[in-house]
Amino acid sequence: KQEVTQIPAALSVPEGENLVLNCSFTDSAIYNLQWFRQDPGKGLTSLLLIQSSQREQTSGRLNASLDKSSGRSTLYIAASQPGDSATYLCAVRSGGGADGLTFGKGTHLIIQP
């Protein structure tokens, strides 16, 4: 059974810093990996999707990498802003056609003004 772990569970940094969130998964047979953002009490906003054949994806100040063989992904946030404060969730879609996503527990990020 696929398990997804995110480190750290919580992170608080001053505005302007670059930061890295980590995600690991136990079964490397994945179709894709998605990073989401969730604000308190809200739904999920998709940030980046990396297909299993890709190594990284970029969107604005966000860069996500994937090392499928080692079961790891990182989300890099450049020049952090207070508006980046949220919980960041990593999710993988595993093998087989009829699969939903398996989520990590998330990293709760606070950017101090």
Partner 1 sequence: DTEVTQTPKHLVMGMTNKKSLKCEQHMGHRAMYWYKQKAKKPPELMFVYSYEKLSINESVPSRFSPECPNSSLLNLHLHALQPEDSALYLCASSRGLADPREQYFGPGTRLTVT
Applying CB under 8 A, which residues contact partner 1?
Answer: 31-32, 34, 36, 41-46, 49, 51-52, 89, 93, 97-106
- Structure tokens of 87? 């919980």
Taking the least distance from each CB to partner 1, the nearer of 61 and 105 is 105
Nearest distance from residue 79's CB to partner 1, in Å? Answer: 25
Three-state DSSP class for 97?
A: coil
52 vs 74, which CB is nearer to partner 1?
52
Extended beta strands in 1-113, E state: 4-7, 10-14, 19-25, 30-38, 44-51, 56-59, 62-67, 72-77, 86-94, 101-103, 107-112
> Closest CB to partner 1 among 34 and 73?
34
CA 65 to chain centre: 9
Residue 102 C-beta: closest distance to partner 1, Å: 8
Least separation in angstroms between residue 50's CB and partner 1 is 10
What minimum distance in Å lies between the beta carbon of 2 and partner 1?
Answer: 11
Beta carbon nearer to partner 1, 15 or 32: 32
Contacts of 96 (CB under 8 A, 6+ apart): none
Task: Find out whether the peptide bond into 8 is cis, omega within 30 degrees of 0.
Answer: yes
